[in-house]
Amino acid sequence: MNNVVSCYQEDSVPDLSEDLENWMSRLPHELRQTPIIYLAIPGSHDSFTSAIRSDSELAPDAEDAIKKLSFLGPVLKAFMVKWARTQTYMAKDQLIRGIRYFDLRIGTRQGTQDLYIVHGLYSVTVQTCLDEISSFLDTHTQEVVILDFQHFYGFTQSDHDRLMQMVNKTFGAKLLPFTQHMNYVSLEYMTTQYRYQVICVYRSDASRFGQPLLWPSRTFPNPWPNTVSKRYLFEYLHHGLKNRPADTAYVTQCILTPPGWFIFKHLYCSLKKTCGIKLEEPRSTWIENQTPGANGLNIIIADFIELTDCRYVKEVINLNQKLLLNNKKY
């Protein structure tokens, strides 16, 4: 699809982040016709960890060293919770604040068939999150959500089958079937022509075989910087965008990942203070210098998306103004 976004004058470009709850619905027609792989879309990292508490149980993704210290009980968890929570809000409140891409780590739990959000400790059930998202979409019919099922812990094939059935049952006709031709998939195409509202990426290609409503990993490349260095992070992100595929989506992980030594050094602090807040200013500067489109920023994820009145979310959404100003051609 060779779309040309019509040219706007700088003083006539609207504030695209004025209504975060409905920002996709309110985009100018030119942007709603633009393939979503060329739009700037804000997402959250480890999206549903805000429900983790100091009395949460150890999850199957906890590192072996942590599991060996489980005898410390509440003392251990009191420290863990400060580093396991990457978000302040759950699904509904993130959606209201403009988040449209969700990153899910899922684990099984002994003694129950329920599947849970995990990040070292157990959060809420997956079904709880999916129900919140589905309810939001029912009342926001021009909004689109991307669900990225990234990691699976303690899973058998029957667990995968149960999760896939859960997704299909919850979203039904809202699910956009997988297509090789992502440059045809726009907000207009999804919500006006066909009433699709959910893209579900399932990063277990063997397990999702034969599921036409689930999208394979290769359609949403998602490289992980795995660093606590801000300088290395932005070098990594720059290199990734420079070399991103032109015909798929692309996820930029603008996050700092503290290794064990860093956590030990800042034991009485938290992920939010040491990584979330300290990354906010340099991330803002970096985002300001990005442009959506081919070889540009597409989906970006962050921790603690609400900082400074959702500044990150607003900045990402308003990057799409550059498409209007630049007469961008695909």
Cβ distance 324 to 299 under 8 Å?
Answer: no
Candidates 119, 160, 239, 266; catalytic one: 119
- 296 Cβ neighbours under 8 A, 6+ residues apart: 38, 40, 241, 290
266 an active-site residue? Answer: no
Q: Angle 122-128-134 (CA atoms, 0-180°, nearest 5)?
A: 145
> What b/e sequence results for 66-95 when a residue is b if at least 16 CB atoms lie within 10 Å of its CB, and e otherwise?
beeeeeeeeebbebbbbbbbbbbbbbeebb
Candidates 29, 45, 160, 239; catalytic one: 45
User: Which amino acid is located at 208 in the chain?
Assistant: R
Cβ distance 44 to 54 under 8 Å?
Answer: no
Distance between CA 264 and CA 269 in Å, rounded?
Answer: 10
45 an active-site residue? Answer: yes
Catalytic residue IDs? 45, 119
